[in-house]
Amino acid sequence: MTVKQVEMYWDVGSTNTYFALKLIKPILERHQVELVLHPFNLGYVFRNNNYELMKESKAKLRNRKRDLMRWAEKYSLPFQMPRQFPIKSSRALRGSIVMRRYGKELPFVEQVMSRYWESGDAGIAEYEGLRKVAESLGVDPEEFEALCVSDEIGAQLAESTDRGVERDVFGVPMIIVGDELFWGKDRMEFVEDELRRNGSDRR
């Protein structure tokens, strides 16, 4: 059966999600498949598993930062580590669900990612900053925020996160092709191989 979509669980607080969104684009174009985004509250999952990123060794954190810059240099991406890290991401995740209603989920996510990981704008952790993103995409900011804070959207975010955990998503980005899960920004060759195996290579 031909695969017609690639799924991605994501969180704005994930450096690797930033890179994955950039690197998967040409693959999607080559295979003419749709990207389906699933917001995943990584902070919530981390807390439930008693994991704290910033408590890793200083040597590992230094190496992680340098490695990220290698990726940015290799692919000529304007990535930079923001001064404020980590940030609360649940509001941006709620915002993506709201923007889905307007057919503008992906542009919203891309802009939020760009503002944080390229411009260092930690304001996207708050509704004031997210309202500007929504408005730039032609969505009324008042209506946007009212939907974001609703119980309905909160429940949808919790459901998306819980569903991810049920599907063995333990971190992001998690890319899913059919029944296969690929974790991280450095699995793009495997993602493309799986698309070819599933008959979605239309070149």
Total H helices, total E strands in the chain: 10, 4
pLDDT of residue 203: 46
Q: What tens digit of pLDDT does each residue of 133-174 get?
A: 999 999 999 999 999 999 999 999 999 999 999 999 999 999
How buried is residue 72: exposed, middle or buried, by Cβ count under 10 Å (0-12/13-18/19+)?
buried
Return the percentage of the chain with pLDDT > 90, whole number: 84
More confident residue, 120 or 203: 120
- C-beta neighbour count of 128 within 10 angstroms: 12
The structural domains of the chain, ordered by start, are: 5-197 (3.40.30.10)
Residue 98 pLDDT exceeds 80: yes
Q: How far apart are CA 202 and CA 31, in angstroms?
A: 6
Per-residue pLDDT reduced to its tens digit, 102-113: 999 999 999 999
Mean pLDDT of 179-194: 96
Name the band, by pLDDT with cuts 50, 70 and 90, for residue 177.
Answer: very high
Provide the mean pLDDT of the chain: 93
Here the tokens at position 131 are 């309202």
Specify the pLDDT at position 97: 98
So what's the pLDDT on residue 16?
A: 96
DSSP state of 173: S
Question: What is the tens place of the pLDDT at every residue in 42-85?
Answer: 987 766 665 566 666 788 878 889 999 999 999 999 999 999 99
Structure tokens at 157: 């975010």
3-state helix, strand, coil in the chain (%, to 5): 55, 10, 35
Q: Residue 60 gets which letter from DSSP?
A: H
